Amino acid sequence: MDFQQKLLDITEKNHSILCIGLDIDRDKIPRFLFNSCGDPFFEFNRSIIDYTKDLVCAYKLNMAFYEVLGKKGMEVLEKTIRYIPDNIVVILDGKRNDIGNTARKYAQSVFETFHADAATINPYLGIDGVIPFLEYKGRCSFILCRTSNPSAVEFQDLKISKTPLYQIIAMKIKEWNHFGSCGAVVGATYPKELKKIRSILGEDIPILIPGVGKQGGDVENAVKNGTNKDGEMAIINSSRSIIFAGDKEDFAERSREKAMLLRDEINRYRR
């Protein structure tokens, strides 16, 4: 099914534009899991998914947290993606890119090896590094446009003929969307820039918005500035503040409480 339709369907079914980031971290996962089961990383993800799957539109798995575990991490990544219900969007966050020949392998890895619905990609190399991802029609490639980190300003605010680079990237994303498979990544920590980017992208291009929760982005502005006029086509991600809400046997219930609070807060501001 086409990515946008899948996103709209699950947004409507779960009444949610919340994405939970399954950024598993050995140092933060409840200790008891390491003594009580053979596959603590997968058990952690399984519990979080079981307790939150009716509250989200997407799960995002950041590759760094899986790659660092080596072969085991790749197994957990595969098992987790298989475990996520088919109607929920899976975003594989690797911020990939390279020369075209290599980018093709990255794209194949995300969409064919791991069967993700969406990828995050870096536009720095230009269109030939982006096309291999965009050619997967019916999937979505979220292109870094305005990142959430403090140093985002270092390059992304540089002006080229008076226009900041992040706005030029937004215009490129709009242009590249003739493939129909573009999205943008914009941090909730930059609400003014988010508003500007939504106005450049128009109504139909989805925006992945990380940065609420631990990074301090404002939820109200993220929703009002990031969604389209129907209150859709935005995916608001939170990772640590939800998945590490508890460290005892009831950790998944604690995650559910946090996810429900955030989903409801987000919905208050959707049109």
Under the binding rule (CB under 6 A), the answer on residue 211 touching ligand OMP is: yes
Under the binding rule (CB under 6 A), the answer on residue 23 touching ligand OMP is: yes
Selected range binding ligand OMP among 110-118, 197-205, 209-217, 250-258, rule: CB under 6 A = 209-217
Under the binding rule (CB under 6 A), the answer on residue 214 touching ligand OMP is: yes
Selected range binding ligand OMP among 40-48, 125-133, 207-215, 249-257, rule: CB under 6 A = 207-215
Find out whether 97 and 127 touch, Cβ atoms under 8 Å.
Answer: no
Angle separating helix axes 40-52 and 251-269, nearest 10 degrees? 40
Dist. CA 75–CA 32, nearest whole Å: 21
Beta strand pairing call for 159-160 and 163-164: antiparallel
**What is the smallest separation between the CB atom of 36 and ligand OMP, expressed in angstroms?**
25
Under the binding rule (CB under 6 A), the answer on residue 148 touching ligand OMP is: yes
Under the binding rule (CB under 6 A), the answer on residue 239 touching ligand OMP is: yes
**What is the smallest separation between the CB atom of 238 and ligand OMP, expressed in angstroms?**
5
Stretch 44-63: interaction string toward ligand OMP, x if CB under 6 A: ------------------x-
Beta strand pairing call for 234-238 and 18-21: parallel
Exposure string over 242-265, b if 16+ CB within 10 A, otherwise e: bbbbbeeeebbebbbebbbebbee
Under the binding rule (CB under 6 A), the answer on residue 221 touching ligand OMP is: no
Find out whether 207 and 231 touch, Cβ atoms under 8 Å.
Answer: no
SS3 237: strand
Quickly tell me which residue has 């980031």 as its tokens: 21
Dist. CA 104–CA 134, nearest whole Å: 10
Choosing from 95, 137, 195, 248, the catalytic residue is 95
User: Does residue 72 have an active-site annotation?
Assistant: no
Stretch 118-147: interaction string toward ligand OMP, x if CB under 6 A: --x--------------------------x
Q: Which residues of this protein are in contact with ligand OMP, per CB under 6 A?
A: 21, 23, 62, 93, 95, 120, 147-148, 185, 187, 210-211, 213-215, 237-240
